[in-house]
Homo-oligomer: A and B are copies of this chain.
Amino acid sequence: MTTESNSLHASQLRCERGNRTLFTDLSFHISSGQLLQIEGANGSGKTTLLRSLCGLFEPSAGNIFWCQQPINADSMGYHTQLSYVGHLPGFKLDLSPLENLAFAQGMLGQQPHPPALMSALDNIGLYGFETTPCRALSAGQRRRVALARLLLTKTPLWILDEPYTALDRAGTDRLNALLVQHLQTGGLVILTSHQSVNLQAVTIQRLALQ
C-alpha cells in the first residue's frame, strides 16, 4: 500500500440514462483514509455513478480526477489503482475460487502465489471451498469470492456496489474489518449500501442521490 496520499475528486458530474437525467452537478472529494457511502433510492443512479468513477460509463458532463489527474488521461495507470466489485459476480462460475483469484492476480501482472491465495480465501471465510467450482457455491459464498479479490490486488481505491448483499453476519463483520484495515493503511473506499454502515473509528461521509 502506498504511504503517500491519494485523492479522488469528482466535479459537477451529470449522468443520463435513456433521456432521463439521473443527477446533475454532483461533486465530491475524498482522500486517503476516507470512506464515502452513496445513498439513494432504487434507480437513483448509484450504480451509474460508480461505473462512471471507474471509467466504464461516460458522464454527459463533469470531470473525475485521481490525484489531480483526469482519469481518462492515463486510464491504464488509473486502473492499477482501482478495484471494482459490482452487482455482477465478475468471475467465472466454472472455475474454482482459487483459479478465479489466481486469474485476478495474474491480470495485474503479478505472479500468483497459491499459499497467499489460500490464506485470502480462508480469511474471507471460504475455507474448504477453495477448489469447488463457483457454480456450486451459495449466493453469499459467491459474494465472498468477489470480495476476496480486494485482499490480494492491494489497490488504494476500492469501489464497491452493495458489497453487503447476500453476506451473513459473520461475512458482514469480516468485510467491515477489511474496510477498517484498508482505510487505516491509507486506502479510499466508495460504496453503496441500503443499510447503515458502522465502522469503528472511521468517519463515514455520506452522499445522497435524490
Contact = CB atoms under 8 A, between A and B. Distances in A.
Given A125-B42, A170-B41, A195-B195, A47 B138 contact: yes
Interface in A52-90: 87
A171 interface: yes
A43 B138 contact: yes
Contacts of A136: 17-18
Contacts of A141: 42-43
A182 B47 CA distance: 32
Given A125-B42, A138-B42, A162 B168 contact: no
B166 A43 contact: no
A137 interface: yes
Contact of A168 (B18, B41, B140): B41
Nearest to A137: B43
A29 interface: no
Contacts of A137: 43
Interface residues of A, number: 32
A167 to B, nearest CB: 7
Contacts of A125: 42
Contacts of A87: 139, 166
A77 B172 CA distance: 40
B43 A140 contact: yes
Interface of A: 17-18, 40-44, 46-47, 87, 125, 129, 132, 136-141, 143-144, 162, 165-172, 194-195
30 contacts: A17-B136, A18-B132, A18-B136, A41-B140, A41-B168, A41-B170, A42-B125, A42-B138, A42-B139, A42-B140, A42-B141, A42-B144, A42-B166, A42-B167, A42-B171, A43-B137, A43-B138, A43-B141, A44-B138, A46-B138, A47-B138, A87-B166, A139-B162, A165-B165, A165-B166, A166-B194, A167-B194, A168-B194, A169-B194, A172-B194
